[in-house]
Structure 1
Amino acid sequence: NAARHGVFSALLAHEGMTGPGPIFEGEMGFEKQLGVSLGNLGEKFHGSPSMILKTSIKYWPAEYHSQSAIEAALFLRSQIGDVSKIKRVVIESHDASVDIIGSEPEKWKPKTRETADHSLPYITAIALIDGEITDRQFEPERFKDPDVWKFLEDVKVERNAELSAMYPDAVGNIVHVDLADGRRLTRRVDYPLGNAKNRLKDSAVEGKFLALIERSIGESRAKKIIELVWKLDEAKNVDELMQALQMPDEK
């Protein structure tokens, strides 16, 4: 929403609209209205790195608190092979994760995409079953599959005090898989792929973008957009990028 307002304000300014000059320090400005002092704004952009450098990127198309559980589950899936050997799954998670995506009954029987991609038990289970997390895992025929719901009956979510204490610096999950032969396989991930402390490589970010957009606009155009974005700091304006981003029926 902040970005939307910023773009809208820029468009208004471009068309010639003006407003009060001292919007921050004026008599009815931002500072006095909120009772704060921003000081010299210019100085705030020097010294410590900008918060944007601490941005995390979701690698998989699911709620962020589940990202480390997905990574753990996919690793375990590679070790298990035959998922029919799985008898029980236990997910240890932090309080925020449990409260948001791992406690309500509907998380074990998702009936909408919005519930499925915000369900820690479903997301973890389907990563184990399918060995991947893509848009396909959030299609109705997948998350409503009776066999998947049956599998979910043996998935349990537990709170972990250590993980809760590490949050939000870490967004960890521990996944345990109990097998029919009596073995328990465990994988813990504190900083999932794409976290600010476990950054995605540029190629992985490009790969995610291509996977999401290529089917809509084609590979060559998608790659052109990537090229323009990487050179955005050299561009005199964003006209070429905006043209590339337009859908065909908008031209």
Structure 2
Amino acid sequence: ADAVIAWMLGGPDREYAVELPEPGERLRSIMESYTKEHSAEYQAQAWIDLARKLHGENPALTDPANIESIVLHTSHHTHYVIGSGANDPQKYDPTASRETLDHSIPYIFAVALQDGGWHHVDSYTPERAAREDTVALWHKVSTAEDEEWTRRYHSIDPAEKAFGGRVVITLADGSTVEDEIAVADAHPLGARPFAREDYIAKFRTLAEPVLEEAEIERFLELVQRLPELTADEVRQLSIVAKLGVLATAPAPKGLF
């Protein structure tokens, strides 16, 4: 039809072939989903995991006094969208909004390197972003486009496609620490591909502040029986927030 979506996809005469699985065939696309373990832009996932690894291997890297510079050699997309190639001063601003910080790989890498992990709330608080030693380390982090990582980012081969890069940390004494990561740990080809228990743990972490424990258990019991649910049980695949949560949730007013 001559509609908006048709024109967005190339015009009303454009045709697309979508492969659908045969009955019983493995659902490849679902199984190859790029899961976000961390609450940040997807291109930051692998970098958080690499920072976590370096934190455990070399705690001295968390002190900005020991660091001369940190350069993340990465894809065109990462460099120009969430890296220093964006030429966006807010990506280095400790008063920037959460929405800006979660698209700042210099900030994300610095915090993950210091903390040895990432928290969906604590890693973004104004207090965390303004910490003096964090700001000092953060401002030593930059990105650089690497042709090979750009090529791998655009590869259509799942075994080659990459979202990470190589880090070169130059220490104050002139020595360097180098490491690299291609995909996030939670990626199907990563160090720790997300499994059912990881999804459940992530759901619990996000749900516990807003749902009662009984509601969490009820929902999890249902979704883990998804293929066999009755029509009535499917209608129960929603959640009820703790008393008072919705009333205190920040939300813009609608038209009415």
TM-score by length of 2: 0.75
Higher helix proportion: 1
Cα 1:172–1:236 shift into 2, 3 Å: same
Residue 142 (structure 1) aligns with: 128
Contact in 1 for aligned 2:106/2:139 (Cα 8 Å):
no
1:226 CA drift (Å): 2.2
Render the CA deviation track for 1:23-50: whole Å, top value 9, x for unaligned: 9xxxxxxxxx8224578x9x84427845
Residue 4 (structure 1) aligns with: none
| Off by >4 Å, runs of 4+ in structure 1 | 36-39, 47-50
Cα 1:229–1:95 shift into 2, 3 Å: same
Unpaired runs of 5+ residues, structure 1, are 1-22, 24-32
Residue 162 (structure 1) aligns with: 148
Cα 1:37–1:115 shift into 2, 3 Å: closer
Which residue among 122, 140, 143 is the counterpart of 2:107? Answer: 122
Cα distance in 1, alignment partners of residues 116 and 73 from structure 2:
20
Q: Which has the larger radius of gyration?
A: 1
Cα distance in 2, alignment partners of residues 181 and 223 from structure 1:
53
Render the CA deviation track for 1:154-185: whole Å, top value 9, x for unaligned: 11211111110001421122222233444322
Residue 9 (structure 1) aligns with: none
Unpaired runs of 5+ residues, structure 2, are 2-10, 155-160, 247-256
1:52 CA drift (Å): 2.7
Number of paired residues? 215
Which residue among 162, 165, 178 is the counterpart of 2:170? Answer: 178
Which residue among 32, 35, 49 is the counterpart of 2:13? Answer: 35
Q: For the aligned residues, what is the CA RMSD?
A: 2.5
- Map 1:17-96 → 2, pairs under 5 A: 34-36=12-14, 44-46=20-22, 49-82=27-60, 83-84=62-63, 85-96=66-77
1:72 CA drift (Å): 0.8
Which letter maps to 1:153?
H
Which letter maps to 2:107?
Y
Which letter maps to 1:205?
Y
TM-score by length of 1: 0.76
Cα distance in 2, alignment partners of residues 154 and 100 from structure 1:
18
> SS at 1:157's partner residue?
strand
Residue 251 (structure 2) aligns with: none
Percentage of matched positions with identical amino acids: 27
Cα distance in 2, alignment partners of residues 171 and 38 from structure 1:
27
